[in-house]
Chains A and B, each alone.
Chain A
């Protein structure tokens, strides 16, 4: 089935920009969703359909998707952004959802 590849961790200083890649075969042809999961909490949708933001999600969160890589970008990183981030797509070949392995964002 379809595989999504994420780096295990990304570190970023406060106020800087974090970029979290999500790799997959021709992922640019799919709609990618991103979820934030803070420790001990349920996941929260932060970006959907590659680059749209749900209401209440800061503009600091943005997404892009092209070729074999989708990217979640967090600008002006804050301590509260420290969390695990998961990408997700719908695998139409098997009719099921697939999650990436997750990336832990650490704010230095």
Chain B
């Protein structure tokens, strides 16, 4: 069974760093791509970026380039979304999702990780 299990909710202060995770199971982690999607409170879905775990290649939405880093660990089948300095505007639910290749749909999603950033 394909599963994407995300880490638990986080409460952080502005300026702090954070790394959230998405552990994959039930499929070959290296042969798929893992995307990250942001959903701010009461708002819609926004594509953050993607990692291809096979070679760790990444791509980012222009809106998120330089603001976050996407990482992958093939040994543990886990993808990560990382911030070096959080802002209040990073408060959102972050979903990871699997897709098969470039331009393909997101067929499985994690349950989401709520990140709350306050001053």
A97–B35 contact, CB under 8 A? yes
| B111 x A97 contact (CB < 8 A) | no
Tally A-B pairs: CB < 8 A. Answer: 55
Instruction: Identify whether the interface residues of B are mostly helix, strand, loop, or mixed.
Output: strand
Q: Give how many B residues have a beta carbon under 8 Å from the other chain's beta carbons.
A: 21
Give the interface centre of A31, A37, A42, A94 by most chain B CB atoms within 10 Å: A42
Is the CB–CB distance between B59 and A99 below 8 Å? no
Closest to B96 in A: A42
Q: Which residue of chain B lies nearest to A44 when distances are taken between CB atoms in the complex?
A: B109
Minimum CB distance partner of A98 in chain B = B47
Cβ–Cβ < 8 Å partners of A33 in chain B: 105-106
- B45 located at the interface, meaning its Cβ lies under 8 Å from any Cβ of chain A in the complex: yes
Residue in contact with B47 in the complex, picked from A37, A42, A49, A96, CB distance below 8 Å? A96
- Nearest residue (CB) in B for A97 is B47
Please determine whether B107 and A96 come into contact, CB atoms closer than 8 angstroms. no
In the complex, the answer to whether A43 meets B62 with C-beta atoms within 8 Å is no
Q: Which of B45, B103, B107 contacts A86 (CB 8 A)?
A: B45
User: Given the known A-B contacts A86-B44, A96-B59, are A42 and B109 also in contact in the complex, defined by CB atoms under 8 Å?
Assistant: yes
Contact A42 B45 (CB under 8 A): no
Q: Which residues of A contact B (CB under 8 A)?
A: 1, 31, 33, 35, 37, 42-45, 48-49, 54, 84, 86, 88, 90, 92, 94-102
